[in-house]
Structure 1
């Protein structure tokens, strides 16, 4: 559809603002139809087709939320955005909870209006031409079908999303799918682990800095918000943010602008925020570790990723998916699982969820002598029987007089590597970090000790 054919429905009871919006949209080569009441808006929607709707909150015969709910129910393919008074953040959040894709505050600037309209029209286009949202998620359990349907709905919105779920359940994967299925799919998807950034560097990492603004600032840095401009910023383990950074993050989200460290001016940013944590964020708020206002701003819509134990019927599908992918990456023939091995996988609880399943299969392919996978290759044990990571290590057995020193040291090295691999569920990148060596060094030692059947692969978890 060409720009000349794009029709915008404007709903506002202020005649001056209606005229301003009609003129502004006309300059953007769009047809604007303006009305002043909910009844007139309902009549217009029934009489013609629109590509976008902009509605005020306060209307003579109702409110904008009523219109947002109506459009979500009867014209779900029509993107709708809210026009709110300055400071009415609660209203904007409620509008997005009911189906609005975004909001704009009065007084309306031309740049803000253009951005809002562009986002809405991209949503419209993505719905018509984009891939089926959630198609890449492996699983047909009822909980996964519900999640795929929710992803399809969330992809058309720009509302902040809180993705809850246990460690290893696939929260970042869900965030990537929402991004890639929506109108921002051709823009950056920036993921950051909030717990991995030193507290003193957080402001610089998120908002950027000017050269020379502090010791070590040798060049200008844009920061994560500006790097994600136009796209999505995914904040993993958001509960690990210190309180002073939560205040700054809240302001950046509400004002849609950031000020780099050492910079006198602010930069507008158009970023969709998604966040996740394995902690219970509501409990963090109650305990005083997380700001309530930031919680409500981030948790506009919640998407829950089910743990693997709630979709056990998907285990065979995931086993086939991961084993085929690993064998292709490593240049190995597709593995065959014995009936006993498959039964062992289906009976195991997988406290580490999908990530643990993938690492178990990687370990099995590494240890197997051929394409047949047996239960002993999986090395599955009940979670209660696993040695806690923080448990003191047992003393090494003394070397016998008949054992060469080199063999004794090699046995120690092998035991320590296996302990690290077991503690990290055979994530080799994490094991290398735990052992204080590079991934390439660990890979060399695995080959030397006969523990690696994968060839010169790069770790897919790196």
Structure 2
């Protein structure tokens, strides 16, 4: 399988002190049309890296004169732009996670499977140049605030890795957009991007939805069916609201991520899958772990790299830019402007629904405005049912943060329930969540049908 038949094929450095493993990997890479150099220890590897240019480095974690992590750190510290993958002992995920956090591109468990090695090499050779920009037509993150600049910088860095990324942040803060931008800047940009709302799948169907099933596995399984992992093979699987996964499914997801293999319901054999995992939730996963609602081992596996999306109220200087962006997109050729008083009102509002709420506010204002200008009254920022929630609280009223966010969520749920005469199914539609997700949130916040 020749990947590069050009006069100057990609060069790979393989670092390992076991001759058999070196020979196996070298032979596999040579068959792929690559040039291969060997190193048997850390010092030899560093010398090679300092004298030659490589497109990939594969290093064992344990070497006679040190750790493979030293090779990773050397490459990162000198900004060499050489993707480095570590080879770890079977079952030793702690080392793999540690290396990924340090900046490794990916890992390969021993014994090295050639199909996984080829997938890794393919991904590396498809990486865009470090200076590549997002293609035209793709949405981007707006704003010049320090918080947003930090997010953009981290997205650029994690895009050049295969490490799992967990995106946290309040509802409406742009978590899925951040995930899409990571993919757009990565080697997987032309591969499937599959999104799944973990709170929207009934628990009894989760395993078959994620891993697929074989014909006859259960009543109604009339033919083989691929799951979400198979659909995302070669690309990215975005697990939105991952905190809503039941514990029984968390165990199976952990194994699939660690082993890079899945087993269809009703099958006897596992099949390899090449999927990068990006997860997101508005809940604090660390707190979910402490409460016994989320497995600690899965938390550490998903939370290799953390990306925090800031709330809109933390970027007040960016609100005008974001609002005008939505206005230009929604009004088309019409010449409609935001009055300075309207912009000031927006900048003083706390946006419990973040960027998504701002877009809805602009869309509503366009329908209400007259004379081609949007004034504060058109924004309808303080409806009576939300006066307490949207009134600007003192700084002390926002701490601890979890209590403040719970109060915001409780107010929104109660208002939706009151609008629908406490019909939970209808309230879930108003809130834009599933019935199961609403029930979970009501239980967590202690809301009953008798609350008023």
| 1:7-51 per-position Cα deviation (integer Å, ceiling 9, x unaligned) | 000111112221222222111111100011111111111111111
Establish whether residue 246 from structure 1 lines up as the match of residue 250 from structure 2: yes
- Relative to structure 1, is the Cα distance of residues 431 and 14 closer, same or farther in structure 2, using a 3 angstrom cutoff? same
Measure how far apart 1:256 and its partner are: 0.7
* 1:52–1:80 Cα contact (<8 Å) kept: yes
Q: Which residue of 2 aligns with 1:117?
A: 121
Give, in angstroms, the shift of residue 99 of structure 1.
0.7
Q: TM-score, normalised by structure 2?
A: 0.84
| 1:1-400 pair list within 5 angstroms | 4-123=8-127, 125-127=128-130, 129=132, 131=134, 136-328=140-332, 333-381=334-382, 384=388, 388-390=412-414
DSSP 3-state at the match of 1:213: coil
Displacement after TM superposition at 1:431 (Å): 4.1
Q: Distance in 2 between matches of 1:344 and 1:201?
A: 46
Q: CA deviation at 1:390?
A: 2.1
Gaps of 5+ in 2: 391-410, 436-452
Query: Alpha-carbon deviation of 1:204?
Result: 1.0
Structure 2 counterparts to residues 415-426 of structure 1, below 5 A = none
Q: Shift of the alpha carbon at 1:136?
A: 1.6
User: In structure 1, what is the Cα distance between the partners aligned to 2:272 and 2:278?
Assistant: 18
TM-score (norm 1): 0.82
* CA separation of 1:278 and 1:388: change in aligned 2, threshold 3 A: closer
CA positional deviation for 1:365: 1.2
User: Distance in 1 between the 2:40 and 2:56 partners?
Assistant: 16
Q: Find the aligned partners of 2:68 and 2:272 in 1 and give their Cα distance.
A: 26
Alignment deviations for residues 206-239 of structure 1 (CA, whole Å, 9 cap, x no partner): 1111233223334432111110111110101101
- Greater displacement, 40-49 / 242-251: 40-49
1:151 shift after superposition: 0.5
- CA change 1:393–1:249 in 2 (3 A) is closer
SS in structure 2 opposite 1:5?
A: coil
Cα 1:57–1:197, aligned 2, differ >3 Å: closer, same or farther? same
- C-alpha change, 1:207 and 1:376, in structure 2 (3 Å) is same
CA contact (8 A) 1:126 1:181 kept: no
Contact 2:59 2:68 in 1 (8 A): yes
- RMSD value over aligned CA atoms? 2.6
Deviation at 1:127, TM superposition (A): 3.1
**Paired residues of 2:171 and 2:354 also in contact (CA < 8 A):** yes
Quickly say closer, same or farther: Cα 1:250–1:301, change in 2 above 3 A.
Answer: same
CA separation of 1:259 and 1:301: change in aligned 2, threshold 3 A = same
In 1, Cα distance between the equivalents of 2:244 and 2:431?
24
Would the alpha carbon gap of residues 120 and 362 (structure 1) be closer, same or farther in structure 2, given more than 3 Å must change? same
2: CA distance, partners of 1:108 / 1:385: 55
Quote the offset at 1:374 in angstroms.
Answer: 1.4
